Chains A and B, each alone.
Chain A
């Protein structure tokens, strides 16, 4: 079975540019999570969706960040405009129905903003 698929794997861009990260969750999973991981701040939850609806976006750092989930098989995380402090590894994870279900992570997108 295919796991969570993220693209791109690596992105290097200049500050001020728009960045779009993509995620395809595991088929049948109804919850999707976006995380950011840095050495300084560890693994932070940015936003999560249940059944394509955003439930908690309290971790989104500021208005430059936005996330959408137009359907059950696709989500995007957009940063506009990007800044060097946004450099991090961004993970997408999905899980099946039920609070006790584990989260399955994608391979992540390593983002570098110059």
Chain B
């Protein structure tokens, strides 16, 4: 079955440092979505990428979708304590409604 892996599993940074999480799918995706889950909370949709090689930005967050549409990354510039949480990528194949969530990267930010 389809697998979506993320690395690293966990990262601890000091506030102001940059952070990147990488997402790799075993199959080609039609699009990829990113979600953030705060501790004790539920996943919340951040963004979706559809185009091969696409790049999107949300303030300090930069999202990329690989040329082969099998990998993606999320980069946070100058992390803040409000960035703490687990970041999930989730891939969609074809026109199906079913998302396959990645294994997640937990980010801890300290002062």
Contacts and interface: CB of A to CB of B under 8 A. Distances in A.
Interface of A: 31, 33, 35, 42-43, 45, 48, 50, 55-56, 91, 93, 95, 99-100, 102-108
Contact of B43 (A55, A91, A100): A91
Instruction: Bin chain B's interface residue count.
Output: 20 to 34
A33 B5 CA distance: 21
Given A103-B45, A107-B42, A43 B97 contact: no
4 closest residue pairs by CB, A with B:
A102-B45, A105-B42, A43-B101, A99-B95
Interface in B73-111: 88, 92, 94-101, 103-104
A99 B30 contact: yes
Nearest to B47: A102
B42 A43 contact: no
B68 interface: no
Contacts of B88: 43
Tell me the interface secondary structure of chain A in the complex: strand
Contact of B48 (A48, A93, A102, A106): A102
Given A99-B92, A100-B31, A103-B45, A55 B101 contact: no
A104 B30 CA distance: 20
Contacts of B30: 99
A101 to B, nearest CB: 9
Given A99-B92, A100-B48, A45 B43 contact: no
Contacts of B97: 31, 48, 50, 55, 95, 99
Contacts of B95: 99
Nearest to B92: A99
23 contacts: A33-B99, A42-B103, A43-B43, A43-B101, A45-B99, A45-B100, A48-B98, A50-B97, A55-B98, A56-B98, A91-B43, A93-B43, A95-B97, A99-B92, A99-B94, A99-B95, A99-B96, A99-B97, A100-B31, A100-B92, A102-B33, A103-B99, A108-B42
